[in-house]
Chain A
Amino acid sequence: MTIKILIVDDSKLARMSVAKLLSGLRPGWTQLEAANVDEALAQSGEERPDIILLDFNMPSQSGLELAARLRESHPHVPVAIISANIQVEIAERAAQVGAIFLAKPLTEAALAEFLDAAEARLASS
């Protein structure tokens, strides 16, 4: 069954950029997009993505809060928080809610590493 990955970011440019990387690394996967918290929650409920990538810095709710909610409602789904603020506290807080921290701008290598680990987790769960 094809893996579904949800990209959450209020910037369309950022979503396009991640989508492009994804298409290169995992061309067979289904890509889903959400531009805000509400859309993200709706998509996770309806489409049941297998992996979620979300932006740390979003208007109404911070990426961390969203990550926490998603981890709670879908505990088997690997979540990555992407942020341009490469501060230790953020990485730690991400880990606390069970999410992986990825630095912005997202590099192919960093994304590949995350996807490999996520896939492994999905296979074993």
Chain B
Amino acid sequence: MNEFLEQFLIESRELIAQAADDLLALEYSPKDTGRFDSLFRAIHTLKGAAGIMDFGAMSRLSHAAEEVLSAVQTDIRTMTPELITDCLACLDQITTWLAAMEASEALPDTAEAEAERMIVRLTPGNVAADTEWPSHVPSPKGLQGSISADAGTKGHTASALAVIASILRQADLPADPGRAAAPNPPGSANNFEAPNDTNGVARPMRTDMARIDALMRLSGELVVAKNALRHEVESAQQAGMPKQHGQNLARICGQFDRLTADLLRASMAARVLPLRQVFQHFPRLVREMAAGLNKKIRLVTEGDTMEVDRLIVGALFEPVLHVLRNAADHGVESTEQREAAGKPVPAIIRLSAARLGEEMVIEIADDGRGIDLAAIRATAEARGIVSPQALAAMSQEELQELIFAPGFSTAGSVSNLSGRGVGMDAVRVAIRGLGGRVAVQSRLGAGTIIRFHLPFTVLLTQVLNVEVGGQIFGIPLAVVVETSRFRPEMTAKLGAAETIFWRSETLLLISLAQVLHLPEAASKEAAQVVIVEHSGTFSALKVDRLGKQIEVMLKPLDGLLAGMPGVAGTALLSDGRVLIVLELQELLN
């Protein structure tokens, strides 16, 4: 692909994203001149770019859009929601053309006719046809083919499909979808593969990803080699190497440590993307969802400048989409209901990202009807998911957690939009696969908050090695508060359990061997106690022996083992063994 076309595609896509963002913002802040200027400039530059590439139909359509904006600026026309939909449809049309251009380096033959249709649609007095949200979201592969024929002619359906198709194209999900896989729900983006253009040349993005992956892999192997070197130096020192050599080698190992850490950090930095890459598509999608549901909903995003590992960014699209669908479909009430309850219209769904210590928290908060615990109890009982006695004993939080149970849905009717509400189960599995967890908080009548707690990277972690039942495990150093030798005087009995007194608290002494279903060590002499913290609570773990603190490249479990609770991932040790790194929060719950 020639460099002009490449640059044209990159810039045009950025301009379209900017224009769409501005349009959506203007819908609710029509007087925002900054936004309007930005929108105008984006469309104008798009026109210019089309001119440079001599893509006539695109020039003409951009020009028509520009005229519409001029008319709005001079108050000849008003920026109504319908006009915004029409402008968004123009952008979708251009997006479709860009995809065709990427494949064949020219505008498709149908472009002239499509441009004409769209220009007519932009002319005042013409009303866009309105159709229903599709009854199912077709698989991404199927979308590729069906889009170009329909785009621009059928209102919500086509525009929504076009948006999803362009998102999936641009999301550039990692080549190894198994990494972050949930068992694929229908319409899953995990099956997606970027189309190669017709001469078999892969998109530029793919080559970059491959290079970065290679860099990461080599960095990871370097970490292993570095650990092996250190190991060897220490052995040599113990075997009686001359002191000076020992010191020199130790110093060099220290340098090595720093350099590999820097290299890994630098290659990780090449792998991060701002969350904006995935967040930016959602306001549009929510708008389309709302239109299809005949509700008024606005999505506000925050914190999307945060940079996160590419794998995580790509893998977030599906889970966030699921939660948004649920919120729009089940959470948000109809306009009449909201008005009757004195709630503002449009409903607001807030998608935000923030850092909380070593975690990233992504939050989807709606101001809808909240989770109805009575409905949950009824459904759980009716479906036999939980026995009535167990239900009666459940706390509010435990009842809310039931929404994650497979096959659970309190939706009265199976709506076209979110199907049977199986989303939350798949969401939890997907987030676990990334080494994270999902939490829910809700108040009846006020709204629901779904939170994803995720690690920033799936990579370099400091772990403390411990020996339990003859096996070695890693405990992330981030959760370790203290270690000490186990002394029987420390403990007291509490029924069948042991407790330990620590910093004026009495903690249950948990035998990690028991938790992991491994044999307890015969002699307790070398036993150690590791105090760990998770979500503000402290736990005391008894292990057979303490090993070293090492730095490892944590690889999350994938394939069949993905989402296994209690395990954060695996790491390759310097002696070639595989270290299982524990996820204590899940293990101890």
Q: Which residues of A contact B (CB under 8 A)?
A: 10-14, 16-17, 57, 59, 84, 104-105
Q: Which residues of B contact A105 (CB under 8 A)?
A: 48, 51-52
Residue contact A11 to B48, C-beta cutoff 8 Å: yes
Residue contact A12 to B41, C-beta cutoff 8 Å: no
Cα–Cα distance between A59 and B42 once the two chains are bound (Å):
10
B45 at the interface (CB under 8 A from A): yes
- The residue on B at minimum CB distance from A105 is B51
- Nearest chain A CB to B98 CB, angstrom units: 13
Residue contact B4 to A17, C-beta cutoff 8 Å: yes
Given contacts A57-B41, A57-B44, A84-B47, contact A12 B7 (CB under 8 A): yes
- Nearest chain B CB to A86 CB, angstrom units: 12
Q: Which residues of A contact B48 (CB under 8 A)?
A: 11, 14, 57, 84, 104-105
B11 at the interface (CB under 8 A from A): yes
Given contacts A13-B8, A16-B4, A17-B4, contact A59 B49 (CB under 8 A): no
Give me 11 A-to-B residue pairs in the complex whose CB atoms sit less than 8 angstroms apart, sorted by A's number. A11-B11, A11-B49, A12-B7, A12-B11, A13-B7, A13-B49, A13-B52, A57-B45, A84-B48, A105-B48, A105-B51
Q: Which residues of A contact B41 (CB under 8 A)?
A: 57, 59
Cα–Cα distance between A57 and B44 once the two chains are bound (Å):
8
Q: Which residues of A contact B51 (CB under 8 A)?
A: 84, 104-105
- Nearest chain B CB to A82 CB, angstrom units: 9
B3 at the interface (CB under 8 A from A): yes
A-B contacts counted at CB < 8 A amount to: 35
Q: Which residues of A contact B11 (CB under 8 A)?
A: 11-13
- Residues 42-79 of B at the A interface (beta carbon under 8 Å): 44-45, 47-49, 51-52
Q: Across chains A and B, which 8 residue pairs bring their CB atoms closest together, nearest first?
A: A105-B51, A13-B7, A17-B52, A13-B11, A84-B48, A13-B8, A13-B49, A105-B52
12 more A-B residue pairs beyond the given contacts A10-B45, A16-B4, A16-B7, with a C-beta to C-beta distance below 8 A = A11-B11, A11-B49, A12-B7, A12-B11, A13-B11, A13-B52, A14-B49, A16-B3, A57-B45, A84-B48, A104-B48, A105-B51
- Nearest chain B CB to A89 CB, angstrom units: 14
- Nearest chain A CB to B68 CB, angstrom units: 16
Interface membership of chain B positions 1-33, coded 1 if the CB is closer than 8 angstroms to chain A and 0 otherwise: 001100110010000000000000000000000
Cα–Cα distance between A84 and B44 once the two chains are bound (Å):
8
- Nearest chain A CB to B7 CB, angstrom units: 5
- The residue on B at minimum CB distance from A55 is B48
- The residue on A at minimum CB distance from B54 is A105
Most chain B CB inside 10 Å of its own CB: which residue of A11, A16, A57 = A11
Q: Which residues of B contact A104 (CB under 8 A)?
A: 48, 51
Q: Which residues of B contact A16 (CB under 8 A)?
A: 3-4, 7
Most chain A CB inside 10 Å of its own CB: which residue of B7, B8, B11, B45 = B45
Cα–Cα distance between A75 and B52 once the two chains are bound (Å):
31
- Residues 136-180 of B at the A interface (beta carbon under 8 Å): none
Cα–Cα distance between A111 and B507 once the two chains are bound (Å):
80
Cα–Cα distance between A105 and B58 once the two chains are bound (Å):
14
- The residue on A at minimum CB distance from B40 is A57
- Nearest chain A CB to B525 CB, angstrom units: 69
Q: Which residues of A contact B3 (CB under 8 A)?
A: 16
Q: Which residues of A contact B44 (CB under 8 A)?
A: 57, 84
Q: Which residues of A contact B45 (CB under 8 A)?
A: 10-11, 57
- Nearest chain A CB to B466 CB, angstrom units: 54
Cα–Cα distance between A12 and B8 once the two chains are bound (Å):
9
Q: Which residues of B contact A13 (CB under 8 A)?
A: 4, 7-8, 11, 49, 52
Most chain A CB inside 10 Å of its own CB: which residue of B4, B44, B48 = B48
Cα–Cα distance between A67 and B89 once the two chains are bound (Å):
37
- The residue on A at minimum CB distance from B9 is A13
- Nearest chain B CB to A90 CB, angstrom units: 13
- Nearest chain A CB to B18 CB, angstrom units: 11
- Nearest chain B CB to A110 CB, angstrom units: 13
- Nearest chain A CB to B11 CB, angstrom units: 5
- Nearest chain B CB to A7 CB, angstrom units: 13
- Residues 202-256 of B at the A interface (beta carbon under 8 Å): none
- The residue on B at minimum CB distance from A59 is B41
- Nearest chain B CB to A39 CB, angstrom units: 17
Interface membership of chain B positions 370-401, coded 1 if the CB is closer than 8 angstroms to chain A and 0 otherwise: 00000000000000000000000000000000
- The residue on A at minimum CB distance from B5 is A13
- Nearest chain A CB to B122 CB, angstrom units: 19
Cα–Cα distance between A17 and B3 once the two chains are bound (Å):
11
- The residue on B at minimum CB distance from A15 is B7
- The residue on B at minimum CB distance from A12 is B7
Q: Which residues of A contact B4 (CB under 8 A)?
A: 13, 16-17
- The residue on A at minimum CB distance from B62 is A84
Most chain B CB inside 10 Å of its own CB: which residue of A12, A13, A14, A104 = A13
Cα–Cα distance between A104 and B3 once the two chains are bound (Å):
20
Cα–Cα distance between A10 and B52 once the two chains are bound (Å):
14
- Nearest chain A CB to B431 CB, angstrom units: 38
- Nearest chain B CB to A99 CB, angstrom units: 19
Q: Which residues of B contact A11 (CB under 8 A)?
A: 11, 45, 48-49
- Nearest chain A CB to B70 CB, angstrom units: 10
Q: Which residues of A contact B52 (CB under 8 A)?
A: 13-14, 17, 105
- The residue on A at minimum CB distance from B3 is A16
- The residue on B at minimum CB distance from A84 is B48
Cα–Cα distance between A93 and B353 once the two chains are bound (Å):
47
Q: Which residues of B contact A59 (CB under 8 A)?
A: 41
- Nearest chain A CB to B113 CB, angstrom units: 24
- The residue on A at minimum CB distance from B44 is A57
Cα–Cα distance between A124 and B49 once the two chains are bound (Å):
36
- Nearest chain B CB to A60 CB, angstrom units: 11
Q: Which residues of B contact A14 (CB under 8 A)?
A: 48-49, 52
Cα–Cα distance between A104 and B8 once the two chains are bound (Å):
16
